[in-house]
Structure formats: C-alpha cells, structure tokens
Amino acid sequence: MNKLILLIFLVPALTAAFAQSGYNKAQARQLKQEAVQIMDNGDPDKAITILESAQKLDPDDHSYLYEIGYALYLKKDYSKAIDIFRKTTKYSDVTDQCYQMLGNAYDMNGQRTKARDAYADGLKKFPAAGRLYMESGLLDMIEKNYNKAAASWEKGILVQPNYASNYYRLTKLFAQTTDRIWAIFYGELFMNIERNTARTEEISQLLFKLYKASITFSDTSSQIKVDLANSNIFFDPKKGLKIPFHIVYPLDFTIAVTPATLTSKKEINIALLSQTRINLVDIWFNKQKHNEQYPNILLDFHRTLSEKGMLEAYNYWLLMKGNEDEFIQWRDSHREEFDAFATWFKDTPLQLDTSHYFVRTQYD
C-alpha cells in the first residue's frame, strides 16, 4: 500500500519535472535566437548576458556556451573566448566547430602551436571534419608552407567532399601558380557547392581571368597557345610512361579552342570559352576517350549537361562574373533555355561524397 501511495505521488511529480525541463529548453532556445540577432546587430555584451540566462535554463547543451565564446571572440577578448571554447569541448554534444573556434581563438591570441593542437584534437574526435583541415591549412599558409597547406585542404576534400571552403582555398592558392589547371577545377567544384554567395561571384570572376590568362592568340598567324600547367614529364621506370592529366587536358583543350575561334574574333569572352568547353566534351569522351584513363567527376558532369543540352547555359552561369554584360545579353536572349537549366541545376546538383570526388593527387 505504501509503495502504491508513493507511486501515485511520484508520477505527477516526474511528469511536472519533464514538462518544466521541456519548457526551460524551449525558452533557452528562444533566448539564444534573440541573442544571436542582437550579436549580429553589433551588441555582443548584451548577447552574452542573455546567453548566460539561456545556459542556466539548459546547462547540458553546449551551444549556449559556444555562442558566448563567439561573442567574446567578436569582442577580441580571445583569452576569455579560449576558456569558454575549452569548456564546450567537454560536452557530450560537442561539434567540430567548437574545436575550430578554440583553435581560431588561440591563433588570434598569438598561440599558434596551441591552435594546431586544438585542430588536431578536433580531428581525433571528428576525423571527417573538413573545416578543421581547412583551418590547419590556413596556418600553413601563414607560415608560407604552401605544399603542406595544399595537402591539408586536399585531405579535407577527401574526408568531406561537400565542404566548400577547402576548394575555395585551393582555388586561390593555385591561381597564383603556373598550374592554373587546378585552380580552374577546384574553383568550378567550389561554385557547384556554394552557389549564391559573395565568394561564388569572386570565383566566377577569377575563373574567367584564369582562362583568359591561359589562352594566347598569335598576332601573325592562326596559332593558339594554351598554358594551363607546368608541362614537365617525369618518367618512372616502375610505372612506365604515362602522360599526366595536367598535360593531357590542356592538349585536348587546345584542340577544342581552335574551331571555337573560327566563329568569333580573336577575343576571349564567355562565348568562346563556352564553345571550347562544349567541343572539349566531344573530344575528351568520344574522340580521344581520355575518360577511360583519367576518370573525372566534373568532366562526367559536363557530359551529362551536354547530353541534356544545358552545357552552354551552365558555362554562362559559371563565368557570368567575368563579363556580366555578355552574360545578361545571352541570358535575355535564351531565357527559356536558361530557366530550364536553373530549375534542373537546383534539383540535380553535382554529386559529391566519399565515393565521388576530385583531387589532383588522384592521378599520381
């Protein structure tokens, strides 16, 4: 009887406790949304006060401390931010972003070694965190260790192929080298992942500039020079002679650009580049069959677009910031075609995962 009486009183008490807990969590989430908005409006101090109240309501959720740390980071109070972000890493629901911001705070506080350690610790817990490889690569860039930076970003692509920032960093890096081919590939992949940001516009313009810098017309003849990569070939007796992808692709590109110049002036514009890329699909897959020796998910995507009659629209989208007037003029005269592409492109993105990816080292 006593046990029954106890149970009768206990059930309502537990129900009330669960209800209160749910209410507290909902209230905490609402406070966090309010605080983030206030933070975005430039008042991190007020945001911190609200977030501290939210954290008391739901102390088992790391996100309130994370936002407090981020507010302190915005205030450039890196020492306090470090203390907060270190606490977030002890939570059971910790995310890779906690380690990212911990490392960033260490770096901004002049503690680069500890920043590296934070990213490394994060990768032990989250080995598929592309953002942590991205941050590690940025530290290498600061130290002018460019090969190591590239390797870190490419590793980031391998573990998380749909994370955009590693492609972005690789594009910017290789754009400054003679191996522009990799900037072109990484840049286009980046734009497929991150489609509507300021960085997308930046890379669109950069891709156009890279193509333009890589194609030279002779003043006295019809000769065309395409310079996308260092053309050195190294013979390995164990592997035999295999012409590298970064030489084969520019050769096919040169063949593709020649007929494109017959229908236009010696001017590098979107129309010329688009027709070249259209010609290249036929050369790469049908005439040379280089896809058999050099598989490439991006070129496979070009073939799909070509088969659907959408490659021209895609090319104009890709390079639109290189010559906005030319893009607008083409789009306005091909409105139905471009709208059909845009709808298809939204619903059918390039598939990127750990089984479908591209890095330059895949041809080593």
Reading the chain (364 residues) residue by residue, the pLDDT tens digits are 555 454 455 445 434 444 455 557 889 899 899 999 999 999 999 999 999 998 998 999 999 999 999 999 999 999 999 999 999 999 999 999 999 999 999 999 999 999 999 999 999 999 999 999 999 999 999 999 999 999 999 999 999 999 999 999 999 999 999 999 999 999 999 999 999 999 999 999 999 999 999 999 877 657 788 999 986 655 455 655 678 999 999 999 999 998 877 666 678 999 999 999 999 999 999 999 999 999 999 999 999 999 999 999 999 999 999 999 999 999 999 999 999 999 999 999 999 999 999 999 999 8
**In which domain, by residue range, is 119 found?**
23-160
Are 35 and 143 part of one and the same domain? yes
d(CA 133, CA 291): 30
pLDDT at position 15, please? 45
- Domain contains 166: no
- Domain contains 49: yes
Sequence-distant (6+) residues with CB within 8 A of 131 are 96, 97, 100, 156, 163, 165
Are 85 and 179 part of one and the same domain? no
Residue owning tokens 């896809």? 291
Residue owning tokens 């907060």? 84
Are 139 and 190 part of one and the same domain? no
Last residue of a domain, one of 125, 160, 195: 160
The vertex-177 CA angle with 255 and 293, nearest 5°, equals 45
How far CA 313 is from CA of 309, 310, 317, 327, 340, in Å, comes to 9, 5, 6, 10, 9
The Cβ of residue 357 has, within 10 Å, a number of other Cβ atoms equal to 18
Last residue of a domain, one of 160, 184, 212: 160
Report the CATH number that the domain containing residue 125 is assigned in CATH.
Answer: 1.25.40.10
Q: 14-40: b or e for each residue (b if 16 or more CB lie within 10 Å)?
A: eeeeeeeeeeeeeebbebbeebbebbe
Cβ–Cβ < 8 Å for 243, 233? yes
